[in-house]
Structure formats: C-alpha cells, structure tokens
C-alpha cells in the first residue's frame, strides 16, 4: 500500500503594501480656506461695515470740501490782479496793524497772481489749540481781506477743518479716532476677502446679464468691489499711517529702518554783539523771535547799529528764491535769538515741492538746506500716500478719484446688507458655514496663516482684537447649535 505524499499548498504570494497616503495638494488646502474667508468676510461686513459707512460718507464730504472752500471763502482767497506786489514786509505790517493780537508763527506769500498772502498768528483768544488765525492780505494794495481760523499744513479753513475732524474722529477727540482706525484696519481685510471669494467663483456665476434678486446684487457687489479693490487697499494703508496705534507701530518701524522724515536744522550761533554799518539792507530793529515782529514796520530799509539786527523778511524771501525755492513757500520766523528763519516749500500737488532752507537772521546766510530729493524712500512714500489720501497730490483729479472710491464703498456696503437680508431674511447671523473647515486645511498652510494673523494683530490691535472676538463668537454659536442637536457650525 503506497501512501501518496501530502499535497503542498502553493506558496502564498506576498501582499503588496498599501500605497502611502499622498499629502493633499496645496490647492485643496487653499480651497478649504474659502469657508473661513467667507465667514470672516460675513462677520466683518456685518459688524465693521457701519464704521466703514461713516468713514465713507465723511470721506465723500471731505473730497468735495476743497472746491466748496474756494467758493465759500472766495473773498478771502482771491483779489483782482494788480500791477505790482508790495514787499512782503509791508503786507505783514498791514496784517499786524489790523490784528496785533497773538504772535506770528508763519507767513505764506501770495503763491500766484490774484491770490492773497496769509499771515498766520498763534496764541489768539478764541482760536483752538493747534490752530492758527490766518489773516488774508491783498498783496497789491496791502488791504486786509479778513481773518479765518486755519488748520494743518494744507491751510484748511473752517469748513474743510470741520469736515476733516468729522472724518477723523467724529469731533470726539482721541477717543473718536478709534472709529477711523478700526475702519482702516479692516478695510483691506474685507476687500481682500471679497476678492478671494469673487474670483473663486466660477466665471458663469459672475455674470450680471439675465440675473435678478440676490444673485444680481451679488454680481454688482463683486464686480464693483473687484474694480475698487486697489483704491480701497490704498485708503486702508494710508489711513493707518497716521492712526493712533497702528500709526505708532509704523513710525517705530520707520525709525528702526532709518526711514523717518528728516528735519532741517534751525539752530544758529547766537550773536551777542552784531554791529552793522552796511547800507541798503533790510532790518527789523529790536526783534526777538515772533513777538518782535508784532509791532515792526518791516517795509523800510534802514542802517542800524544795535545789539541785535535782523535782515528782514524781504531779504529772507529773496535768498530763498535765489536758492531755488519757488512758490508756494512758507516763512517761519526765528523762535529766539539762537534760531534761524526757515523757508519751506508747501506745495503738496504733483510734482511736490518740499525743499527747505534755514537762514541766519543776523547775516542772511543760508545755514542749512534740506531737499525733498534727499528724503529716504519710505519718507517719500509716506508723504505721497498721505497727500493722495487727503486729495491734494493730484488736485481735482485726486479729489474725483477719492469721491468715486468712497461712493463705491457706500454702494458695496448697501449691497452687502441687502444680500444679508435676502439670504437670511433678517436672521441675526445669516446662514452659518458648516463646521470642519479648519480640519481640511493643511498645517503647512494653516500654521503660517495663523502666525501672520497673530503678528498683524499685535501691530494692528484694532484688527487683532475684533478678529479674536469674531472667532470666539463663532465657536460659541457652533457649540450652541451642536448641543441643540442640530447641525454644528463654524
């Protein structure tokens, strides 16, 4: 009896290892950010938009205030063109005769034919702190055309000053400035989020033709927002430049980079004894700083031997012209016996004229020169940015662009609220975004974004604090929905 050998089972083939999971592509991570961007855009649109609306309306008023100022104050600003202008010293003497109060802080000679000369006085009763009283003088006749309160380097008169302060702080002082900083801090975030959402939609969904209701409103909102985005970014960045908290951070950064705006040196050697026996030079006997100009006849040429002599405004202006300082200019008199005259160009329209020189009042020699061409690049950009934001960089064209941007922002806010109403029928928080968006974002994208937001929040606190509040509220709302057994949201 033969026994067959047992049949051996064929060797088992080794199982192929399962393929390693591939990391999600960066595009899918960026797509996963869309619900978060949408939720942030929604919260900021609902809660920050009222501040933006106030800033836009007051900004629209400010853009029109330049032309309104020319009309309202035409009698003070313009005069019939004469044959010959009087020496600047005689014009100042006429202003002081009509307004002997206060002290002279600056003189702005007539910048063009038919424009008045401004003599600026400080320490005048009834004039707000930081403002001056501008006395307007006909440069051809010496007649005083009136006096108005003036503010700022652009010489804003009462109408424009009132609108400017309304836009800046709602006439509430430093506390009111927080509103405008909040608006500027969030404007670029809302605009950027809107761009991401709009261009993330399929092209077919961006069409306006043949649409109605909420979809048409969304189309208008997105299209206008996309066209206005660059201008809104500019308004946001330049608005933050001189804000309270973010502005301080920007100034610290410029200081660290040695990019601050330079200033001219106005200090001169004191002349304890200065004997002058020259003829044909203008002097102002006994002048001591700004107070000395109050009672002086600055229209005469004299020969003086005194303990302290002054070459006079006319000589100072001629020296400035000889050194290339064309109109418009401002002459700042010496503050004391150890400081110089400072003559500086004050044209903020393109091309900007911002050169300045210091002139020794005893000798008439130039002691220091500062040219705008020598400013650090960030100082130049800051100057251009602020002037563009305030509507003076390109004159009327600049003001029209500002008015267009603020009008576009007003429409965007109105359309945004309309979409909120149509989508949620007025529900407090609209239709929430499903929870889980965070988990679909790659850590390689999420961590750098979170770090960047934290840094921005530190340097721009009126962005960081509300953002933290929005996130906290959204988490709480999602948890409430989850506990009620409904769908959870984030």
When mean pLDDT is compared across 59-73, 204-218, 292-306, 369-383, the lowest value belongs to 292-306
Asked if residue 217 belongs to a domain, the reply is yes
Which residue, chain included where needed, has tokens 């203008």?
A: 282
Q: Note whether 248 and 176 are same-domain residues.
A: yes
- Tell me, yes or no, whether 87 and 35 share the same domain: no
pLDDT, mean of residues 355-372: 96
Same-domain pairing of 136 and 183: no
Residues 181 and 146 in one domain: no
pLDDT at 486: 54
95 and 220 share one domain:
no
Task: Mark whether 52 and 82 lie in a shared domain.
Answer: no
Please report the sign of the dihedral spanned by the C-alpha atoms of residue 121, residue 123, residue 124, residue 129.
positive
* Count of all residues that appear for the chain in the document: 490
Residue at 110 is within a domain: yes
- Same domain, yes or no: 250 and 183: yes
Q: Which domain CATH number covers 85?
A: 3.10.450
- In a domain, residue 458? The reply is no
- Specify if 303 maps to a domain: no
Looking at the structure, tell me whether residues 148 and 82 fall in a common domain. yes
237 part of a folded domain:
yes
In which band, very low, low, confident or very high, does the pLDDT at 475 lie, cut at 50, 70 and 90? confident
Clarify whether residues 191 and 145 are in a common domain. Answer: no
Q: Is residue 410 part of a domain?
A: yes
Same domain flag for 238 and 102 = no
Q: Token pair for residue 395?
A: 């004159």
Q: Which domain holds residue 125?
A: 78-154
Give the tens place of pLDDT for each residue, 385-435. Answer: 999 999 999 999 999 999 999 999 999 999 999 988 887 655 555 555 555
Q: Which of 154, 181, 204 is the last residue of a domain?
A: 154
Torsional class of 489: left (φ above 0), alpha (ψ -120 to 50), beta (otherwise): beta
pLDDT, tens digit (0-9, with 9 covering 90-100), for 250-264? 999 999 999 999 999
Q: Mean of the pLDDT values across residues 474-482?
A: 74
Nearest partner of 437 among 490, 393, 401, judged by Cα = 490
Task: Give φ, ψ of 375 to 5 degrees.
Answer: -65, 145
For the cut 80, the answer to whether the pLDDT of residue 195 exceeds it is yes
Q: How many domains does the chain have?
A: 2
Residue 359 · residue 331 · CB < 8 Å: no
Are residue 109 and residue 187 in the same domain, yes or no? no
In a domain, 82, yes or no: yes
Alpha-carbon distance of 302 to 314, in angstroms, equals 13
| Chosen domain end from 434, 456, 483 | 434
Of the two residues 275 and 26, the one the predictor is more confident about is 26
- How far is the CA of 261 from the CAs of 265, 356, 435, in angstroms? 13, 13, 49
- Say yes or no to pLDDT of 301 above 50: no
Q: Which of 411, 434, 457 is the last residue of a domain?
A: 434
Same domain flag for 401 and 253: yes
Q: Is residue 199 part of a domain?
A: yes
Instruction: Return the pLDDT at 489.
Output: 43
């Amino acid at each position: 009896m033969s026994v067959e050998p047992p049949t051996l089972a064929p060797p088992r083939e080794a199982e192929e290892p399962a393929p390693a999971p591939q990391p999600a592509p960066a595009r899918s991570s960026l797509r996963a950010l869309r619900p978060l961007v949408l939720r942030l855009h929604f919260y900021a649109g609902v809660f920050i938009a009222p501040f933006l609306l106030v800033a836009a309306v007051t900004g629209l008023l400010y853009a029109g205030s330049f032309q309104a100022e020319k009309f309202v104050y035409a009698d003070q600003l313009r005069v019939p063109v004469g044959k010959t202008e009087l020496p600047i010293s005689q014009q100042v003497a006429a202003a002081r005769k009509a307004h002997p109060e206060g002290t002279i802080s600056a003189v702005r000679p007539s910048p063009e034919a038919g424009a008045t000369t401004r003599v600026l006085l400080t320490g005048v009763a009834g004039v707000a702190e930081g403002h001056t009283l501008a006395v307007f003088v006909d440069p051809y006749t010496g007649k005083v055309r009136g006096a108005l309160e003036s503010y700022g380097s652009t010489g804003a008169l009462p109408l424009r000053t009132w609108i400017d302060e309304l836009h800046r702080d709602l006439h509430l002082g430093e506390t009111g400035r927080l509103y405008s900083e909040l608006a500027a801090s969030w404007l670029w975030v809302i605009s950027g989020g809107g761009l991401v959402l709009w261009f993330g939609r399929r092209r077919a969904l961006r069409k306006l033709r043949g649409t109605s209701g909420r979809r048409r409103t969304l189309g208008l909102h997105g299209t206008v927002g996309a066209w206005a985005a660059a201008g809104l970014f500019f308004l946001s960045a330049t608005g933050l430049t001189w804000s309270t908290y973010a502005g301080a951070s920007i100034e610290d950064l410029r200081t660290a980079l040695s990019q601050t705006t330079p200033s001219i040196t106005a200090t001169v050697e004191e002349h304890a004894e200065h004997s002058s026996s020259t003829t044909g030079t203008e002097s102002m006997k006994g002048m001591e700083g700004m107070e000395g100009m109050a009672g002086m006849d600055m229209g005469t040429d004299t020969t003086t031997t005194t303990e302290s002599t002054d070459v006079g405004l006319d000589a100072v202006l001629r020296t400035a012209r000889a050194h290339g300082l064309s109109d418009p200019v401002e002459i700042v008199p010496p503050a004391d016996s150890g400081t110089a005259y400072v003559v500086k160009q004050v044209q903020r329209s393109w091309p900007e004229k911002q050169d300045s020189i210091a002139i020794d009042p005893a000798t008439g020699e130039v002691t220091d020169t500062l040219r705008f061409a020598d400013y650090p690049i960030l100082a130049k950009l800051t100057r251009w940015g602020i002037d563009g934001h305030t509507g003076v960089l390109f004159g009327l064209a600049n003001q029209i662009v500002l008015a267009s941007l603020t009008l576009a922002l007003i429409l965007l806010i109105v359309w945004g609220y309309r979409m909120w109403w149509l989508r949620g029928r007025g529900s407090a928080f609209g239709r929430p975004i499903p929870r889980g968006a965070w988990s679909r974002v790659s850590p390689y994208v999420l961590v750098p974004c979170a770090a960047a937001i934290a840094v921005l929040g530190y340097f721009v606190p009126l962005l960081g604090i509300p953002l933290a509040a929005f996130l906290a509220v959204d988490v709480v709302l999602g948890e409430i929905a989850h506990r009620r057994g409904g769908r959870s949201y984030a």
